[in-house]
Amino acid sequence: MKKSWIYVGLTSLCELLWIYGFNVASASWHWAIIIPLITVDFYFLAKACEGLPTGTVYAIFAAIGTIGTALMDVYLFGESFTTLKIVFISIIVIGVMMLNIADTLSERKVEKGAL
């Protein structure tokens, strides 16, 4: 299971890298890096789903991508960082945490029922 979490981290990192690439790509050789990076990203995503619930993996993957992109816009591309952005980023983080808790509780319930 620990290995699956490493894959979640790797897929999230790859996603942020290719999203950054979308923003800065100005030459055809940039796409020669971005397209394989997307392929590697989805490989890591699939590997993460082998050991963890798909809903949890995708929620974390999407949340890190969304939050990372918003922060990238602010810190790398000069967008404003407003109170509303902070509120909505917080809602995403809380939602992902609650989904993970719900999956953990569901797994425990299944384990108790199997005994």
pLDDT for 17: 95
Residue 98 — pLDDT band, cuts 50, 70, 90?
confident
- Burial label, 58 (beta-carbon count in 10 A; 0-12, 13-18, 19+): middle
102 and 50 Cβ atoms separated by less than 8 Å: no
Judge residue 57's burial from the number of C-beta atoms within 10 Å of its C-beta, 0-12 exposed, 13-18 middle, 19 or more buried. buried
Q: Please tell me the pTM assigned to this model.
A: 0.77
Q: Read off the pLDDT band of 1 (50, 70, 90).
A: low
The count of structural domains within the chain is 1
Q: Whole domain around residue 101: which residue ranges?
A: 2-114
Give me the count of residues in the chain. 115
* 8 Å CB contact between 51 and 1: yes
- State residue 103's pLDDT score: 76
Q: Summarize pLDDT for 11-27 with one digit per residue, the tens.
A: 999 999 999 999 999 99
Tens digit of each residue's pLDDT (9 = 90 or more) over 31-90: 999 999 999 999 999 999 999 888 888 888 888 998 999 999 999 998 999 999 999 999
Contact 1, 52 (CB under 8 A): yes
Reduced to 3 states (helix: H, G, I; strand: E, B; else coil), residue 111 is helix
